[in-house]
Amino acid sequence: MALLDKISLPEDVRKLQQKELGRLCAELREYIVDCCSKNPGHLASSLGAVEIITALHYIYNTPKDKIVFDVGHQAYAHKILTGRKEQFKKMRTEGGISGFPLRSESPYDVFGAGHSSTSISAALGLAEAARLSGSGEKVVAVIGDGALTGGLAWEGLNNTGSTLADVLIILNDNNISIDEAAGGIHNYLLRITTDPTYNRMKSRIWNALGEGKIREWVQKKVTDTKSNLVRGSGGAIFEALGFRYFGPIDGNDIDQVTDTLRKLKDLKGPRILHCITTKGKGYAPAEKDPVVWHAPGKFNPATGERVRQSYPAARYQDVFGEVLVQLAKADTKVVGVTPAMASGCGMTALEKAMPERFFDVGIEEEHAVTFSAGLAAGGMKPFCNIYSSFSQRAYDCIIHDVALQGLPVVLCFDRAGLVGEDGATHHGCFDLAAYRSVPGTTIAAPRNELELKNLMYTALEAKKGPFIIRYPRGCGEGVEWKDVEPAILPPGKGECLKKGSRVAVLALGPSACRAVEAAQLCLEQTGLNPSVYDMRYLKPLDTGILEEVASSCRAILTVEDGALKGGLFGAVSEYFAGRPGSPLIKGAGIPDRFIANAPQSVQREECGIDTDGILDLLLQMIKG
């Protein structure tokens, strides 16, 4: 019988003998690979973290003791071990569990995640809450080396190190090691620094020294010695921040991880355990190419052959990447900036063609925006591509560093609107409402691939910024764009797609295409022929279209793939507010709630912004 069949909750893991944990880890990997081959998810990261997660649940009394995961896409083993083994098969599907830790889903998910670099700050909050309540809970944060580049992680480190909080931070280093193991000396230091007798003696001496220059001198000598013994010691920077640093250890050696955690569990104060892991560990194809296997889609688990996806049209991200290279070839001042999303947003095309004009700044959205502002101030023409959801983290920088200074930064928001299986943490719902109020900002949404190309050429001509272009995840509408001469689309000018009467649909982005379909169905079913306009720009708004519609229609339906409150519906409603005899205005958009994971088509249907949903609203307006 498989060990995993005996495991329902972490208390079952704690009943095992330590020598059985290696077998359990192997079975967890096999289960994750099998499930993800049929139901795609984030594979390689979770395979690399299996031993860390297993050891944590073995040593700590979860859920009383708290484990906080950063980003959360490495937490699949955690989901399986905490009562969701069967549900894991349907993860990220409609009605299924989330692909990220979710507080409402399980008491073991103590803090939700989806964006990066949050774990240390959250863990400090949990630790201080435990101290104030006297609960005696232990708190552990698990953060990857990529997430550690984020500014919020360093804010958390800086604050945590200045406290006496009982927090253990596990640095899951699966790419670039912060420091390098130094053979026998490294192993000796690890044994010494985690030895209980050593730590009891160190604490007594430390307390006896008291506050003052002697303690500071001793601490400096200890830190300098460690830095000299462990070549290029990354531990020194953590100890300078107030942490006790341990490691690095082999994070895929279950015995070493378990033994180390056992020794560190009852130590007090801020600690960091540095674990070196292999992304994709235990599955050869994922180990060989962890970038591709980060989220590989469906595949044959026996052979590692991926099921190649065929697309009915070009993906927006690929259009962006190809057009950016065209722009960069024509203008030597064009550069590309991305916060660790080069492959996802299509900017790898620029990286290959002109690596000197490509900047991947790591998971640092705020820095990406302000860095782009600096490039613009220096005369360059930056295209900064950020997923719409992640742009929220750079909101202040967009206002203060770009808009306030009027700098010509092109901000391309990929994954705008509903994103599908990644769910609520990744939807780009709020960008339209968030940035519409920012002075001097241009906000555009292309309805298809050619419009994206044209808007990128248009944005390049802008003398001031920010110029925001937001577009969805997935494929375009299948229109020809590659060999079409680009056109400049004047800001504040939309387009009439279908001329009708009595009712007008004002749409933004690809919603305009669905609006045309719905209007045609309405004509066929009722004989009423609604007009359809692609507004193209949310800001500046095409007031000419609004006046035209007001003079010829008695009702307006706005349609947008963004939050209904504050976006296009809000802008149109504000324009007509208080005007006598103005048209009736209704809106279709993402409602005032978070939308769960499901296919994009299902999510659009839920929100009423698919073709049928738009048609239903038109029919209601006609009857009304």
CA angle 333, 343, 539 (to 5 degrees): 60
* Residues 570, 433 contacting (CB under 8 angstroms): yes
pLDDT of residue 176: 44
The mean per-residue pLDDT over the stretch 16-40 comes to 96
CA angle 263, 269, 275 (to 5 degrees): 50
Ranges 59-73, 226-240, 316-330: which has the least confidence: 226-240
Task: Indicate if the pLDDT at residue 177 is higher than 70.
Answer: no
Say what percent of the chain tops pLDDT 70. 90
How many Å apart are CA 125 and CA 158, to the nearest integer? 14
pLDDT interval class at 309 (50, 70, 90): confident
pLDDT digits (tens, 9 = 90+) for 560-595: 999 999 999 999 999 999 889 899 999 999 999 999
393 is catalytic: yes
Supply φ then ψ for residue 144, to 5 degrees.
-85, 165
The mean per-residue pLDDT over the stretch 71-95 comes to 94
Q: Which among 393, 436, 473, 604 is annotated as catalytic?
A: 393
The mean per-residue pLDDT over the stretch 344-357 comes to 97
Mean pLDDT score of the chain, rounded to an integer?
91
pLDDT of residue 316: 98
pLDDT of residue 210: 62
211 is catalytic: no
* Residues 337, 385 contacting (CB under 8 angstroms): yes
279 is catalytic: yes
* Residues 58, 258 contacting (CB under 8 angstroms): yes
The mean per-residue pLDDT over the stretch 529-542 comes to 98
Q: Where is 244: in which H helix or E strand? A: strand 244-250
pLDDT of residue 622: 85
pLDDT interval class at 623 (50, 70, 90): confident
pTM for the full predicted model: 0.87
Task: Indicate if the pLDDT at residue 211 is higher than 70.
Answer: no
The mean per-residue pLDDT over the stretch 191-212 comes to 58
Task: Indicate if the pLDDT at residue 110 is higher than 90.
Answer: yes
Task: Indicate if the pLDDT at residue 33 is higher than 80.
Answer: yes
Task: Indicate if the pLDDT at residue 286 is higher than 90.
Answer: yes
Three-state secondary-structure class, residue 438: coil
The mean per-residue pLDDT over the stretch 487-510 comes to 97
How many Å apart are CA 566 and CA 497, to the nearest integer? 24
pLDDT digits (tens, 9 = 90+) for 240-252: 899 999 999 999 9
The mean per-residue pLDDT over the stretch 333-341 comes to 96
How many Å apart are CA 98 and CA 46, to the nearest integer? 14
Task: Indicate if the pLDDT at residue 415 is higher than 90.
Answer: yes
Fold match between domain 3-179+234-290 and domain 316-470: yes
How many Å apart are CA 493 and CA 539, to the nearest integer? 10
Q: Which among 84, 92, 244, 279 is annotated as catalytic?
A: 279
How many Å apart are CA 518 and CA 520, to the nearest integer? 5
The full set of domain ranges for the chain reads 3-179+234-290, 180-233, 316-470, 495-623
pLDDT of residue 179: 35
β-pairing verdict for 334-338 and 410-414? unpaired
Residue 220: partners with Cβ closer than 8 Å, 6 or more residues away: none
How many Å apart are CA 101 and CA 110, to the nearest integer? 8
CATH architecture of 495-623: 3-Layer(aba) Sandwich (3.40)
pLDDT interval class at 205 (50, 70, 90): low
Task: Indicate if the pLDDT at residue 203 is higher than 70.
Answer: no
Task: Indicate if the pLDDT at residue 351 is higher than 90.
Answer: yes
Task: Indicate if the pLDDT at residue 610 is higher than 50.
Answer: yes
pLDDT of residue 506: 98
Through-space distance between the first and last CA atoms of the chain, rounded to whole angstroms: 65
pLDDT interval class at 465 (50, 70, 90): confident
pLDDT of residue 221: 52
pLDDT of residue 227: 40
Task: Indicate if the pLDDT at residue 174 is higher than 60.
Answer: yes
pLDDT of residue 186: 42
* Residues 140, 68 contacting (CB under 8 angstroms): yes
How far is CA 461 from its chain centroid?
30
pLDDT digits (tens, 9 = 90+) for 122-152: 999 999 999 999 999 999 999 998 898 899 9
Question: Could you tell me the sign of the dihedral formed by the alpha carbons of 58, 59, 64, 65, in that order?
Answer: negative
Angstrom CA distances, 424 to 74, 389, 481, stand at 18, 9, 32
The mean per-residue pLDDT over the stretch 337-356 comes to 96
Task: Indicate if the pLDDT at residue 196 is higher than 70.
Answer: no
Task: Indicate if the pLDDT at residue 541 is higher than 70.
Answer: yes
How many Å apart are CA 419 and CA 55, to the nearest integer? 34
Ranges 80-89, 210-219, 304-313, 464-473: which has the least confidence: 210-219
Q: Which among 365, 477, 560, 606 is annotated as catalytic?
A: 365
CATH number of 3-179+234-290: 3.40.50.970
How many Å apart are CA 376 and CA 446, to the nearest integer? 24
Residue 380: partners with Cβ closer than 8 Å, 6 or more residues away: 333, 334, 335
pLDDT of residue 201: 53
Superfamily of domain 316-470: Thiamin diphosphate (ThDP)-binding fold, Pyr/PP domains (3.40.50.970)
Look up residue 306 and give its DSSP letter.
B
pLDDT of residue 308: 87
How many Å apart are CA 365 and CA 346, to the nearest integer? 17
